[in-house]
Structure 1
Amino acid sequence: MAEASLLFYKSAVGESFQVLGTEPLFELELIQVDDRGQAGGFEQFALVFRGPEALFLPQQTVMLRHPEIEDETVFVVPIGKDTDGYRYEAVYSRQVQA
């Protein structure tokens, strides 16, 4: 399996991630990756997802599933809504492997 890193997420733009533990189950589409650089051995980036217009996900920690990486716990925050659905952001500061 791939590592859930900035490089992986950049390659996964346009792909869907299943949100686990919600009723009903639904998916978020990764629509944007913002590279915020590296500092002190950490890569910093933000992911922007789009979810369905009919389902709102409040700010919370969720488990995301993608077939290429292990399930990952992520804190998502709703950042707006457009004609295609709700948008959510997850911000990362992840230690870079030496």
Structure 2
Amino acid sequence: MTETPWFTHADFADRVGEDFRVRLPDDSVLPLILSEVEVGLEDSGQGPDGATRQQFSLLFRGPTAPQLSQGLWALEHDEMGELALFLVPLGPDNKGPRYEAAFA
């Protein structure tokens, strides 16, 4: 897994509705769709360039099975490449399982 760059919400804001893929331990692929980008009110720490970013989170939707456990997962995107994101299951709603990646 490659190191994930210092992202901001702007890196994902125009990607809502796009497909991401999670490579599972058995080498199968689980599709996820970026369903929402939420921007927080607080600034977070400084990035490598010394600039701060606002806290934000990414909300993904996945299929009913299999479901991911909480942890660091390698996501793939056609344009962004491989991303190492810590995903937290939020539980399903009427559209299926949801996962959050939070950036502080």
Find the counterpart in structure 2 of residue 26 from structure 1: 30
Is the CA contact 1:65–1:72 (under 8 Å) kept in the aligned structure 2? yes
- Report the secondary structure of 2:69's partner residue: coil
Structure 1: state its 5+ residue gaps.
94-98
Listed as ranges, the matches of 1:65-84 within 5 Å are: 65-84=76-95
1:13 pairs with one of 7, 16, 31: 16
SS of 1:65's equivalent in the other structure is strand
How much does 1:91 deviate? Answer: 0.1
TM (norm. structure 1) is 0.81
Gaps of 5+ in 2: 1-5, 46-51
Q: 1:20 to 1:79 in 2, by over 3 A?
A: same
Runs of 4+ deviating beyond 4 Å: none
Normalising by structure 2, we get a TM-score of 0.76
Aligned residue number for residue 42 of structure 1: 53
Name the stretch that deviates more: 4-13 or 54-63.
4-13
State how far apart, in whole Å, the 2-side matches of 1:22 and 1:8 are. 27
* CA distance in 2 between partners of 1:75 and 1:53 (Å): 20
1:55 corresponds in structure 2 to 66
Report how many residues are paired.
91
* Alignment RMSD: 1.8
User: Is contact 1:15-1:30 (8 Å) kept?
Assistant: yes
Letter in 2 for 1:56: Q
